[in-house]
């Protein structure tokens, strides 16, 4: 397990979505757009449209979508509070349309979601899995840890062998804790 430390004295201002974008909770009508964003990301395991429809219905409270001026979804983050670890918010997927990448949208989504969830659950930890080589995601979660005065611990959660016949890389758990929200 590897640990990275954040210096609370260097906490940055939480990112906000750029002008013209707004973050809110998804609804089932957002399912197809989230599926499309996941497909276009090319780094995510894309699930069925049906799974995104259900996710937007059943886990809207622990997920967020960012919309452009027309109301079109241009990014999302899906997550849930772990039943066996109720102080942990697990981030399942996060994707941002190419048209708004590099503008801080992913960081704004993570901050908005974790702050919203923290008002309903006593969370002090955020978890996600990242495949080796996904540098953008590693930077996103390291930056999140810095902003929230947390450490990042990493360990392989699911080795490649658990993905039979798929050629899938291992999924490395990134545990960001303790959070200062």
Give the model confidence (pLDDT) of 82-120 as tens digits: 999 999 999 999 999 999 999 999 999 999 999 999 999
Q: Write down the H helix ranges in 7-83.
A: 31-41, 49-58
Both tokens of 125, joined, read 């930890």
Rounded Cα gap, residues 76 and 31, in angstroms: 10
* DSSP strand pairing (73-81 vs 171-177): unpaired
pLDDT of residue 8: 40
pLDDT of residue 165: 82
Question: Rounded distance, CA 73 to CA 33, Å?
Answer: 6
Look at strands 125-130 and 88-96 and give their pairing. parallel
Q: For residues 54, 80, 109 and 179, what is the CA-based torsion angle, rounded to 10 degrees?
A: 180
Residues of the chain below pLDDT 50: 1-12
Name the nearest CA neighbour of 76 among 50, 41, 128. 41
First-to-final CA distance of the chain: 25
Regarding beta strands 151-158 and 2-4, do their DSSP bridges make them parallel or antiparallel, or are they unpaired?
antiparallel
Strand partners, 158: 171
* Phi, psi angles (nearest 5°) of residue 170: -65, 155
Give the model's pLDDT for residue 180. 87
The pLDDT of residue 134: 93
Are 174 and 145 spatial neighbours (Cβ–Cβ below 8 Å)?
no
Q: CA-to-CA distance for 163 and 158, rounded, in angstroms?
A: 8
């Amino acid at each position: 397990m590897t640990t990275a430390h954040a210096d609370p004295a260097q906490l940055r201002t939480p990112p906000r979505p750029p002008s013209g974008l707004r973050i809110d909770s998804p609804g089932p009508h957002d399912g197809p757009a989230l599926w499309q964003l996941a497909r276009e990301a090319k780094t995510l395991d894309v699930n069925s449209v049906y799974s995104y429809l259900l996710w937007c219905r059943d886990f809207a409270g622990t997920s967020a979508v960012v919309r452009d001026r027309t109301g079109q979804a241009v990014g999302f983050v899906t997550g849930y509070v772990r039943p066996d670890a109720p102080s942990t918010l697990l981030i399942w997927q996060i994707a941002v349309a190419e048209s708004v990448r590099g503008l801080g949208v992913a960081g704004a989504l993570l901050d908005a979601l974790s702050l919203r969830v923290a008002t309903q659950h006593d969370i002090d930890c955020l978890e996600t899995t990242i495949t080796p080589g996904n540098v953008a995601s590693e930077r996103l979660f390291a930056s999140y840890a810095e902003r929230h005065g947390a450490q990042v611990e990493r360990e392989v959660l699911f080795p490649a062998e658990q993905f039979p016949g798929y050629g899938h890389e291992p999924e490395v758990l990134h545990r960001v804790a303790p959070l200062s929200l």
